[in-house]
């Protein structure tokens, strides 16, 4: 990213994207990094996992660990608080895109 404002916006989009997918089904880092890649976001694990941890610490996500192929995998699901933020963010994003692209 060329400047801090663009980076901050980018991080906000990723957080909303995480909440959106976590509202559909539990997600985990490796799978979600690939999902972001499908949308053109190139994000390192060193960027992605701190976002997951922050969202969990703030109460937007909750995690649980499962053993998959002999390794521990942490899955994240959205909380009620996360759903409220997601719905509000979707309304604001819709309002903004309607204004930007009319």
Helix (H) or strand (E) holding 65: strand 61-68
pLDDT higher than threshold 60 for residue 1: no
pLDDT at res. 51: 97
Q: What is the pTM of this model?
A: 0.90
pLDDT higher than threshold 60 for residue 6: yes
pLDDT higher than threshold 80 for residue 2: no
DSSP 8-state assignment for residue 78: E
pLDDT in tens, 17-47: 999 999 999 999 999 999 999 998 889 999 9
Residue scoring higher pLDDT (75 or 1): 75
Class of domain 4-100: mainly alpha
Q: Cβ atoms within 10 A of the Cβ of 77, count?
A: 16
Q: How far is residue 74's CA from residue 61's CA, in Å, rounded to a whole number?
A: 12
Confidence of residue 95 (pLDDT cuts 50, 70, 90): very high
pLDDT in tens, 51-84: 999 999 999 999 999 999 999 999 999 999 999 9
Contact 23, 90 (CB under 8 A): no
Where along the chain do its domains lie?
4-100
pLDDT at res. 3: 87
Nearest to 86 by CA among 32, 27, 16, 35: 16
């Amino acid at each position: 990213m060329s400047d801090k404002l663009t980076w901050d916006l980018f991080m906000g989009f990723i957080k909303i994207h995480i909440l959106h997918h976590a509202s559909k089904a539990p997600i985990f880092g490796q799978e979600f990094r690939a999902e972001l890649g499908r949308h053109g976001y190139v994000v390192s694990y060193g960027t992605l996992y701190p976002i997951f941890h922050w969202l969990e610490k703030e109460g937007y996500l909750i995690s649980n660990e499962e053993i998959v192929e002999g390794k521990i995998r942490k899955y994240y699901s959205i909380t009620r608080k996360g759903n409220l933020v997601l719905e509000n963010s979707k309304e604001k994003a819709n309002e903004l895109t309607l204004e930007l692209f009319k």
